[in-house]
Amino acid sequence: MTSHSIIPPIEGRCLCGAVHMRATPTARHLDACHCVMCRQWGGGPFLSFPAGTALDIDGAEHVVRYPSSAWAERGFCGRCGTHLFYYYKPEGTYACPVGFFADPGDMALTSEIFVDEQPAYYSFAESTVRKTAAQVMAQIAEDKGGPAP
């Protein structure tokens, strides 16, 4: 398939089955975030794909949103703690952890952010676009229409 192909929705469930989520990737690429917060949240880098502005969630009453910064929320199942999404407020977009979905399809790691916070104990073999915290904060400021947070 080409990059212009329509990407079908993918489905997954949390560990306890209370939340079933369907997302439509907006691209066939994965991002890795190495920031301290993401590593604290999941025990390692956050590997995600862009999912646009809407998720189809069954069991939404079990979804807890944690406001982790002025610009983002992290969603998880309130029963079992499974990570469901990262919500970027300035654009109203979701990033979903690829591991939540049993069959995410053909995806490739193409970018990494907060690379200056990446610990020395792991690395990826892929050649990716790599951005520092300062570069990410500048993008957030641009998205919000003001100075860096």
CATH number (domain holding residue 103): 2.170.150.70
Give the structural domain span for 52: 10-144
How many domains is the chain partitioned into structurally? 1
- Is 2 inside any structural domain? no
- Is 102 inside any structural domain? yes
Alpha-carbon gap, residue 60 to 64, rounded angstroms: 9
- Is 5 inside any structural domain? no
Predicted pLDDT at 43: 94
Check if the beta carbon of residue 90 is closer than 8 Å to that of residue 72.
Answer: no
pLDDT at 92 over 50: yes
pLDDT band for position 72 (cuts 50, 70, 90): very high
The secondary structure of 28-64, three-state, reads CEEEEECCHHHHHHHCCCEEEEECCCCCEEECHHHEE
- Is 21 inside any structural domain? yes
pLDDT band for position 110 (cuts 50, 70, 90): very high
What is the percent of the chain where pLDDT is above 90? 82
pLDDT at 148 over 50: no
pLDDT band for position 3 (cuts 50, 70, 90): very low
Of the candidates 43, 36, 40, which has an alpha carbon nearest to the alpha carbon of residue 115? 36
